[in-house]
Amino acid sequence: MADGPVQRAAARLEAAVPDEGTAPVETAGVEGTAPVEATGVEAGPVEAALQGPDRQPVERLPTLTGVIVVRGAGAPVEQQRLPRRSPATIGRGERHAVVVRPEWVPLDLATFSPVEVGWLVANGAGVPMRVESDWVQSGAASYQPHALVMLQRGDHRLSWPELGGTRLGGRGLGGPVTVSVTVRTRRLEDARIRYAVDSAVATPVRGPGVHRGGTEPPMSVALRYRMAVLFRHLLEGAPTPVHLVRHRAQFLGMTEHELDRIAQRLRRRLNAVRGLDLQSLDELGDYLVRGQGELSPKDLNP
């Protein structure tokens, strides 16, 4: 009987299945901890066989999600996701992903950097950071300024007790600040939680280069993410929602006026630098998504 497509796919699957008795591969975790699952985006042998030689591997989203909640210092108590492709910071400054405004809060309180098995958090404060977690043998430990702490799967609670207890000139420096961090497997409902993205990681706009003697308008991680959310319907091929800016602003945790101002400013910059004549947000979205391909579905997951 001649080999058909089904028989050839079955042959590829049979060749991809490992021999009986092959030992499983484990990825070691942090020293003194249990092994953790390996994460990645490469297709396994069985999936590669199913894809066949003529199909390109499909990019997968990272399998881990980090959800943070900041409490204290006047920060709104809400869930936000940590990006998997860029750092996220907490501190007193507009560039931070989570801004805490009281003057007693350090300019850079903490920085979360994604790694394969979770996030590394750097203590940016000038006082020790206390970490409560099941990964800590005693249940809690304190880490000095500039220390790096690995946050793997599980629940973690970060705090800076001396920010609320240290006294300067006879006055207290303020109240406590805590950050709850949950690292877990990604869920479908996570799409309802917005990302905490910095505004300072500037990358050039992907496009035709410099025009009219000007420079390309910078596209920070935050700006790129906000524009991707604003024009999500274009990225996903869906109809334009009613009250588009209002609904997207609610998701992003800002006012409709703020989001409109950010988008209009980008439109004016593109017009000035590239010699364009974009007259509306509809034309801006069409240019970024369909015209130049500068926004892609990947930008919805920074």
**What is the distance between the alpha carbons of residues 247 and 211, in angstroms, rounded to a whole number?**
34
DSSP-based three-state secondary structure for 259: helix
Q: Is the pLDDT of residue 60 over 90?
A: no
pLDDT at 287: 95
pLDDT at 37: 40
C-alpha 127/C-alpha 254 separation (Å) is: 31
Parallel, antiparallel or unpaired: strands 98-99 and 88-91: parallel
DSSP run (H or E) holding 124: none
Quick: pLDDT tens for 214-237: 556 568 888 999 999 999 999 999
For the chain, which domains are there? Answer: 64-186 (2.60.200.20), 202-300 (1.10.10)
Which range is most confident: 90-104, 147-161, 262-276?
Answer: 147-161
Q: What is the pLDDT of the chain when averaged over all its residues? A: 78
Q: Mark 100-131 as b/e (b = at least 16 C-beta within 10 Å).
A: beeebbbebbbbbebeebbbebbbbbebbbbb
How large a percentage of the chain has pLDDT more than 70? 69
- Does the global pTM surpass 0.75? no
Query: What pLDDT is attached to residue 200?
Result: 60
Residue 40 in this model has a pLDDT that exceeds 60: no
